Structure 1
């Protein structure tokens, strides 16, 4: 099981990767709050996806978040490091994403 600090670092690494690739991807018209809930650690993080970037990452849940990623700490680390395929993880229910279907289509551009 990954630690809370490892998960926090992984989310900040993801934010840095998205920022580095933002220009190549083009502008993503999406501005939504995000909650990342880790079931095995019983903790959460929240932030904001705006213009293809992940910003304002902080500890704690955002129950009103428009997008919620629910998974375990190990699966989050594997996903961010590229060792877990998001499509397979969703199909096998390792990861659950709660979002508006139109937002999910836009999020695919980030992956």
Structure 2
């Protein structure tokens, strides 16, 4: 099971990856949206903001998110680490229920480039 520090490090790597992305990935990440990532096995939620092509202001709170973010992810810590490390395909994990993504239709359409 991934630790809280490993999950935080994975999100920081994701933020770095997004900030150096180019083309379609860069434009898809250019949304300005609140984001939550609930790690069910650690009972913690990471909160942040997807803005200007990167993930910013990452914080964590115990339990479920205090408010509903515009883009919401739910998964196990190991899955977060595997996704960021490129060991787990997002589309396959989403299709099999290992990862849950909730967002408005317009956001889902833009995010599909990232997935």
TM-score (norm 1): 0.90
> C-alpha deviations, 1:46-71, integer Å up to 9, x for none?
10111321111111235221111000
* Alignment deviations for residues 19-77 of structure 1 (CA, whole Å, 9 cap, x no partner): 111x4444345211000001111011010111321111111235221111000000111
Conserved? CA contact 1:31–1:49, under 8 Å: yes
* Structure 1 vs Structure 2 CA RMSD: 1.5
- Residues 79-111 of structure 1: CA distance to partner in whole angstroms, max 9, x if unpaired? 111111111101100000011121011112234
Query: Which consecutive residues of structure 1, in runs of 5 or more, have no partner in the other structure?
Result: none
Instruction: Give, in whole Å, the separation in 2 of the partners of 1:54 and 1:110.
Output: 13
Gaps spanning 5+ residues in structure 2: where?
A: none
Query: Which of 88-97 and 56-65 deviates more?
Result: 56-65
Which residue in the other structure is 1:17 paired with?
17
Q: Normalised by the size of structure 2, how large is the TM-score?
A: 0.87
